[in-house]
Structure 1
Amino acid sequence: MNKYKKKLGIALTAVLTATTISTAYVTTGSSAAPSEDVNVIKNDEPTADRIDQLKDIAMHFYWHGGDVQKAEKEIFKGITLKGKFDVVENAFKEAATIDPLDNNLKISLASTQVIQKKIPAALQTYKQILNIDPDHFDANLLYGTYSKVNGDEKSYKTSLAKMMQIDPERTKEYIQKFEKTEDIMDTTFNTEIPEGIPQKDHAIIILGYALAEDGTMKETLIERLNAGLKIAKKYPNSKIIVSGGVPKQGITEADAMSEWLIEQGIEKERIILESKSTDTVENGLFSTNILEKEGLKDVTLVTSASHMRRALTVFSEASDLQDKINGKNTERDFTNMVYLDYPSIEEAQEVTKDERMVIYRDLLRTSGIWQYPEMQR
């Protein structure tokens, strides 16, 4: 994220503003658009520069949004843009037109289509990669995974067969990941404090939720904290990891959560802040690293019911990755407690197609398949 924030003053000024403009996006983290007129990508720039400019536009809008109408009028003329991800998608489409053999650009385009739930369009984009490079493992994996999500088991199995030809061991690993993920989707949610939690080397991990612009916590995060507080009181030997790093008014989610727990009587020494993550995947990767450093084995995850299956998938994969890196087998046990953000527990237990898509997307991201290769996990 910081890389693209820092580049705004250079790349976006060059791309989005007139050559004599002295101001661009005024403050880091702002989604305000330039106050001056914008120009299209210049055709008298080297190929790599034009592609880089489009990638910078895409990553800026991915993170911060911007003036979509201005982008529609000045950069992507003749294309109707409905939101920031339309800008991201069309920036990668344009870049892939400039260099049609750059598969990373096509993967980035397909990822943006997945985010917008345009699964058939994403599958077609992956297919274009495979038409050029049939042995591209990641493209086969992505095509197969989203075919599965889309209900096309035949294409999924065909992709697996091709992957087995390319890299049998890696393919077997992904089959195991998919099987574990399907099991996680059958997880029963706990709305009350789970019983039998280990008294030693156990962590309660409370996952963050975006703060309001003034740095205060929203209801969802407070409800997650209330659930975590109940467990913390019943199991006083458990450490508490608060995970969330997106700052508002200089306050991260982890900062706000820690302060709240201390105000409720939890000892400061029990609380460990994970204040760098920007999404669920990073919650999992960074918190698991803390577990390893602190010698903590088993985990109770606390989050909203609508988020729990994805969180469990990510944390399970992150734990396996940590074990692989360290050459060990932790056999970490995950339990859960949810804030019920559904009308009923029966409705919460149902897995929709959209949720399945996001779960598999984040599984792949956690496993090392970046959404935007070399730019954004």
Structure 2
Amino acid sequence: MSNKIKIISGILGFILLTGCSSTKQYPSVQDQNKIAQLSQTGIHYYWHGGDLAKVEKEFFKGITLKGKYDVVENSFKEASAISPERIDLRFSIASTQIIQKKTNEALTTYKNILDIYPDSFEAGILLAAYSKQIGDMKTYSETIEILKKNNKKETQKYLNKFSRTDNIMKEKINIYPFQVEEKHAIVILGYALGKNGKMEKPLIERLKQGLALHKKNPKSPIIVSGGVQKGGITEAYVMKNWLVSNGVPSNLIYMDDQAKDTVGNAIYSTEILTKLNPENVTLVTSASHIRRGLAVFEEAAELKGLNINYSNLVYLDYETINEAQKISEDEKLVIYRDLIRTSGIWAYPGIQQ
């Protein structure tokens, strides 16, 4: 998706989620400026963190902040208090609560959104998804039934997504490289660089697995994905250089140097895959990351109308393969979170997908 289209989509999503109409009382200019300032503070701390003592003094007198996500959550809470009908701000609160594993609080926030706007499909499907993941099947079933009555077709789409993702969680993890017969591409996911752009062990190990897979499939194009800069260079840039220095032809390697997280990996790499048009793709990452990676890549492919058979190869960041095959409740929650983000429901409406 081009940056222009993403901006337009974000604006449209923002307008729809706020639920504002000409009959509503808009905040004063002063309040609008305050909301904007708080929102920018929240999303800045989401990405970068910062001085907690400073932000406590400037914005949150009387609140002790325990970490950067406390700043994010409280920024959107303060903004929401100024304009309670702005449900985009409430979605941002809930998303931050999910990040902090405050799942029950997030579910309450989604219920509050539904109290204001009962027809909000986004709030309903998020409430259902996260209720399912914590084992609250009563809330899940009741919410799904309401969603079906209001929007049967869209609800069924998400039920299909959930079913596909549940199957992905059961897939066998591969630790040994293999040969793929034809129409094959390799995607290697990045990992945050250290100081001055130095590669950390997880990234090096992922590249080693990608290199081993290349030797089995020497004609397969390779996508290296990662756009977070450290020391003025991106993950994708250093990944390509490493592969070339280890004998991979430069013309086989495509760089996605825009992705800032796993959802971005899927979105931007899939843009490249639409041009390569493979039938088979092997996703290479750490074992702890592979199920989330597969879930979002399969979703991104579906949205683009691509019929891709995904396989996996991992760097084993567990003691044993048996341990790697187990999936925790926390991991399930994060997989569903990023699946829904990839599907088009923004975590921070109008700000960050």
* Superposed pair shares fold, TM > 0.5: yes
SS at match of 1:204: strand
Q: Does 1:336 align with 2:319?
A: no
Higher alpha-carbon Rg: 1
Please, which of 245, 248, 254 is the counterpart of residue 263 of structure 1?
245
Please, which of 350, 356, 365 is the counterpart of residue 341 of structure 2?
365
Please, which of 80, 88, 92 is the counterpart of residue 76 of structure 2?
92
Asked if the contact 2:178/2:216 (under 8 Å) is kept, the reply is no
Please, which of 329, 343, 350 is the counterpart of residue 326 of structure 2?
350
Q: Does 1:154 align with 2:138?
A: yes
Higher relative contact order (CA 8 A, sep 6+): 2
Q: What is the one-letter code of the residue matched to 2:322?
A: E
Once the two structures are overlaid, the 10-residue window that deviates more, 310-319 or 93-102, is 93-102
Asked if the contact 1:61/1:88 (under 8 Å) is kept, the reply is yes
Q: Distance in 1 between matches of 2:39 and 2:245?
A: 44
Matches within 5 A, 1:204-223: 204-223=186-205
Quote the residue 1:231 is aligned against: 213
Quote the residue 2:286 is aligned against: 304
SS at match of 1:117: coil
Aligned residues: 328
Q: Does 1:319 align with 2:295?
A: no
Q: Distance in 2 between matches of 1:88 and 1:213?
A: 25
Instruction: Describe the superposition over 1:232-285 as per-residue Cα deviations: whole angstroms up to 9, x where unpaired.
Output: 011111111111111112211011010001111111111111111111111111
Greater helix share, 1 or 2? 2
Quote the residue 1:134 is aligned against: 118
Asked if the contact 1:291/1:297 (under 8 Å) is kept, the reply is no
Q: Does 1:376 align with 2:344?
A: no
Quote the residue 2:6 is aligned against: none
Quote the residue 2:148 is aligned against: 164
Q: What is the one-letter code of the residue matched to 1:233?
A: K
Asked if the contact 2:110/2:127 (under 8 Å) is kept, the reply is yes
Matches within 5 A, 1:40-79: 46-79=30-63
Q: What is the one-letter code of the residue matched to 2:77?
A: K
Quote the residue 2:181 is aligned against: 198
Quote the residue 1:293 is aligned against: 275
Q: Distance in 1 between matches of 2:110 and 2:251?
A: 49
Q: Distance in 2 between matches of 1:104 and 1:74?
A: 24
Q: Distance in 2 between matches of 1:308 and 1:321?
A: 20
Q: Does 1:275 align with 2:257?
A: yes
Q: Distance in 1 between matches of 2:181 and 2:189?
A: 20
Residue 332 of structure 1 deviates from its aligned partner by: 0.8
Residue 76 of structure 1 deviates from its aligned partner by: 0.5
Once the two structures are overlaid, the 10-residue window that deviates more, 148-157 or 361-370, is 148-157
Asked if the contact 1:239/1:271 (under 8 Å) is kept, the reply is yes
Percent identical pairs in the alignment equals 51
Q: Distance in 2 between matches of 1:161 and 1:49?
A: 40
Quote the residue 2:11 is aligned against: none
**Segments of 4+ moved more than 3 angstroms:** none
Q: Distance in 1 between matches of 2:168 and 2:28?
A: 52
Q: Does 1:125 align with 2:101?
A: no
Q: Distance in 2 between matches of 1:71 and 1:254?
A: 33
Q: Distance in 2 between matches of 1:355 and 1:203?
A: 27
Asked if the contact 1:198/1:298 (under 8 Å) is kept, the reply is no
Q: Distance in 1 between matches of 2:127 and 2:344?
A: 16
Q: Does 1:245 align with 2:218?
A: no
Q: What is the TM-score with the length of structure 1 in the denominator?
A: 0.85
Residue 296 of structure 1 deviates from its aligned partner by: 2.4
Residue 44 of structure 1 deviates from its aligned partner by: 9.4
State the Cα RMSD in Å. Answer: 1.4
Unpaired runs of at least 5, structure 2: 4-26
Instruction: Describe the superposition over 1:36-82 as per-residue Cα deviations: whole angstroms up to 9, x where unpaired.
Output: xxxxxxx9962211111110111111111111112123310111101
Asked if the contact 2:278/2:308 (under 8 Å) is kept, the reply is no
Q: Distance in 2 between matches of 1:294 and 1:240?
A: 10
SS at match of 1:318: helix
